Structure formats: C-alpha cells, structure tokens
Amino acid sequence: MFIAEAEALYGRESGGTGELSRHRTLALFTESIVSLMSSNTLSAAMIDLLSLMGQTFPQAGPAVYITMTGSQSQAYSVLDGAEGGFAEAKRVLGNHSFSYTPVKVGGHPPLVMNRLDLPLMETAGARVVLSINSGIHDGMFREWVKILTPAVGKFINHEILLHMAYRDGLTGLLNYRAFEEMIRAELDRARRYSTTFSVMMADIDWFKKINDGFGHQIGDLVLKTLADRLNRCVRKSDRVFRYGGEEFAILLPHTVIGKARNLAERLRCTIEKTEFVAGLHITLSIGISEYRNGLSHSDLIKQADKGLYLAKERGRNRVEVMKGGA
C-alpha cells in the first residue's frame, strides 16, 4: 500500500534526466518503506530509517523523536550527543525524560542552528517528529515524510497496542504477562552466558485493611504511589511488575543474591518511611530467589514466593532469602 502511494506520487513519466531522478527518488522511498516495515521492533525500524537518511543526505543530520503516552520518550539521532544531540532532543521533547540512541553513519554530521522539524505523527497518544539540518534537501525530505507518515503511524499504533497488552492499567507497571516473557528471556540469557539473576516478590502487608477501612479508591492510590516509589528505587536495568493484586515482582539482571537482598532492604526501609495518601504508612514483605543451574523460571518464582510467605509468617515488614533447589 505504502509503496503504491510512492509510485503514485512519483509516477513513471518520460523525460530523460527528470525520469531518472524520479526513479532514484522512488527507489529511495521504497527502500525506506521496505526497511521500516520489515523491522521487528520500533528501535530497529528507527535505526534502519535514520541510517538510510544519514547515508543518503549526510549533511541533513536527521533525528527522530518519539513520545508515547505511558512510555519514556525516545530519541534516535545521527548527531553526536555531546555536540548538540542531547540539546536538540531536549528542544523537541521538552521536559520529558528520554532515552538517546546514537545512529552511526560513518561519522557524526555537524549540527546547524537552522533545524527543520517535520511531524510524522501527532495524535492524543503519540507524537513522532523528524528533525533535520535545513538545506537544499528540504524538499526531498518533505516528500519523504508524505510517504513515511502512514507507515510510521501503523508501526506506532502497533507499539501502543503492545504497550497496552503488557502494562497494568492502574499502575502503569509491566504486568504478569510481561513478567512471564521477560523472566523466560532472562533465564535463557543466564544459561547461554553462564550468568545469574535474582527475582524479588513483594507484597503489601495488611492491604485488605486499607481497602476495608478507607475504600478501594484510596487503596488504588496506595498501589499507584507504591509503583512509582519502586520504580524510583531500582536500577535502570531492573524491571518492576505488578504481579497481581497487591503483589509486585522485580527482575534483577546480573544480580547475585547478596546484592538483591541489600536492594530489598533499601526498598523495605524506603516504603516504611514513605507517607502515602491520607497520611497512611504501609510496609512490605519481600522474598528473594537467585538463578542457579537446573532451575526453571517457575522454580525461581516458587522460591521467591516461599520467601515472601516466610516473611509474612515471621512478622511481616521483612526480607527473606531462599537458596538452593526448588
């Protein structure tokens, strides 16, 4: 469909060098669409697209900026981050926190003051902007955008659907489905590279009393605040999940049991000192397990759960580590 639109825009007219130019333009547009639609992930699609643009028009210094509701903003750029790339990302993305992915195309082009921002998508849920150094190539990029817009829109809408499928609607955390897939992937990596990782299961103590005494609306606010605090306390490489109800899971890549316990104690102390809505204070019980040869992902979850139940039995507001086999 998108390639047909490109052909319609640059129809096969006769005319010597003009026809040759149109064919080259169509080939360029077609290559970008094929590259975009054949990529398996949004990140791979943007890197491929920026690579093609940067190699075709090196002085354009192209960058793509993406903002999606509920997700961290993303910047993909052929510009050197320290030499204006980060500043440009902040200019376009504003106050949103963002990840910065440099795309190398045989060196970094210079950043010029006159940048041209071309919207690729702008909806209530997502905004995608292509930014370039303005120059003699502006017309080409404007036509390029006309072709790219529907393809990028389809890709982003697919990402939004995936985001909804793997996110908890209340807290915005990754959900049980995401946890199941990510722990399996982490287990495969640990087996392949002979590394380790830890799993943490955390549960709010006496949460039913909060719902019964203050109502489910207050309970929901407690869950959302806790989700935010957990995300702030863990490392960037760690992943926090809402496992179900008032139970949370945390995946800790490349983390031995001792370091996992230290992090769990910091989390427990932080939450204990945090004042939640209506002046409420809550505590967490936490169980931890570490991957060892021969364990399955379900073994790890069962071990961490055993630690969690043991923490509850021993008085709550504590951390228990489970070692050994399943």
Do 29 and 153 reside in the same domain of the chain? yes
User: Does residue 76 contact residue 54 with C-beta atoms inside 8 Å?
Assistant: no
Whether residues 8 and 136 share a domain: the answer is yes
The model's confidence at residue 20, banded by pLDDT at 50, 70 and 90, is very low
Domain end, chosen from 112, 139, 165, is at 165
Quote the number of domains for the chain: 2
Mean pLDDT across the stretch 236-252? 94
Does a structural domain hold residue 135?
A: yes
Query: Quick one: 155 and 180 in the same domain?
Result: no
| Residue 171 resides in a domain | no
Per the structure, the complete domain to which residue 203 belongs is given by: 176-322
Enumerate the H helices of 57-193 as residue ranges: 85-93, 138-165, 176-193
SS3 content of the chain, % helix, strand, coil (to 5): 50, 20, 30
The answer, yes or no, to whether residue 61 has pLDDT greater than 90, is: yes
Last residue of a domain, one of 137, 165, 193: 165
pLDDT value at 152 more than 90: no
Residues with a catalytic annotation lie at 246
Q: Residue 56: which pLDDT band, with cuts at 50, 70 and 90?
A: confident
The verdict on pTM exceeding 0.75 is no
On whether both 185 and 233 belong to a single domain, the answer is yes
d(CA 304, CA 323): 9
Same domain as 196, residue 141:
no
Look at residue 46 and tell me if it is in a domain: yes
Of 115, 144, 165, the one marking the end of a domain is 165
15 C-beta neighbours (distance < 10 Å), count:
9
Q: Which two tokens stand for residue 111?
A: 């950043």
Residue 277 forms part of a structural domain: yes
- Both 158 and 202 in a single domain? no
The radius of gyration computed from the CA coordinates of the chain, to the nearest angstrom, equals 25
Q: Is residue 66 part of a domain?
A: yes
> Average per-residue pLDDT in the chain?
86
User: Do 161 and 181 fall into the same domain?
Assistant: no
Task: Tell me the pLDDT tens digit for each residue of 213-239.
Answer: 999 999 999 999 999 999 989 988 899
95 within a domain of the structure (yes/no): yes
Question: What letter represents residue 322's amino acid?
Answer: M
- Tell me, yes or no, whether 124 and 189 share the same domain: no
Instruction: Give per-residue pLDDT as tens, 185-199.
Output: 899 989 988 999 999
pLDDT(173) > 90: no
Model confidence pLDDT, tens digit, residues 261-289: 999 999 999 999 999 998 899 999 999 99
Q: What is the CATH number of the domain that holds 262?
A: 3.30.70.270
- Which three-class secondary structure string do you get for 211-233? HHHHCHHHHHHHHHHHHHHHHHH
pLDDT of residue 25: 66
* One domain for residues 194 and 299: yes
Q: Are 213 and 96 part of one and the same domain? A: no
The answer to whether residue 170 sits within a structural domain is: no
CATH of the domain at 27: 3.30.450
DSSP notation for 132-167: EE-STTHHHHHHHHHHHHHHHHHHHHHHHHHHHHTB
Q: Are residues 119 and 265 in the same domain?
A: no
Tell me: do 24 and 99 sit in the same domain: yes
Q: Which amino acid is at 190?
A: A
